[in-house]
Amino acid sequence: MAILTGIHEVIGNTPIVELSRLTKGLTGRLLAKLEYLNPGFSKKDRAALQIINEAEGSGELSPGQTVVELTSGNMGTGLAIVCAVKGYPFVAVMSKGNSMERGRMMKALGAEVILVDQAPGSLPGLVSGEDLQLVEEVAQKITSERNAFRADQFLRRGNVHSHEYGTGLEIWEQTGGKIDVFLDLVGSGGTFTGCARTLKARGTSIRCYVVEPASAPYLAGKPIINPNHKIQGGGYSMDLPFLEEGLIDGYLQVSDDDAKAAARDLARKEGIFAGFSTGANIAAALRLLRTTEQGSTIVVTVNDSGLKYLSTDLFI
């Protein structure tokens, strides 16, 4: 293997493993794309790199210009890494409701981290759409004041492209096209839309499911019982510009407890140490294998590392 010019060149081309221990006794296969093996320990490294590359190519981002982004921690970590090696100052704006490990990691990578107070009634560790709106207001203010480039993962098409041309294509090639189902807990919608586009373009019978917290099934059009769920990085109960209805074959809801239990089982039985959103993906996939998708091959992404949740109750 050739010597690389920087850590950003390590991003992508993550392996897929079969979770045969979790599916023991079930018909079908559950395959996991190990996105937590990216250098920032999450799938958001891909979006960070693609957004910066596309902005450089279009001239929207100038040499030495400050980059600003709203983040739950993973996108910010990816941007901190990419900006470090490419020479851009980076400012991460994050809710105080996110786990503290994320902010500390971004600071270690050279980012300026600005923490925003949560909305009245919100609880630490539980980030709602209302919390995110407060973070958005601060991010907009800083972008304007510093004449910065906003690496907006909710609006920049590089987010979708990173998974359309990267993750989704890798899944297709690594499985030899032998995939029946793809699902993902939706945050910005970039992973779901990018992967679903690529997979459905190659296998028209592939079903793609959106996963949401059981207490906040906004995208499914169901009542929001409690927006303050524990599944960080998704389920924000807000409209998502990237999400394409024509790609969605169904909606799955996962409770906080089921997401936690699945993440713990994934660690204990498969040796894969991942976070809340991955737990939600695993719980949803196992439910499908037990019910409507018996005998199917299901692919999920392992979105980030459990190391980012040691201050939460995920692994207590």
Name the residues annotated as catalytic.
44, 277
Please name which of 197, 198, 243, 191 lies closest in space to residue 220, comparing C-alpha atoms: 243
Cβ(294)–Cβ(313) below 8 Å: no
Cβ(181)–Cβ(206) below 8 Å: yes
Q: CA-CA distance, 121 to 51, in Å (whole number)?
A: 34
- β-partners of residue 145 are none
Cβ(158)–Cβ(171) below 8 Å: no
302 φ, ψ (degrees, to nearest 5): -90, 100
Q: CA-CA distance, 241 to 154, in Å (whole number)?
A: 7
Write the Ramachandran bin of 235: left for phi over 0, alpha for psi from -120 to 50, otherwise beta: left
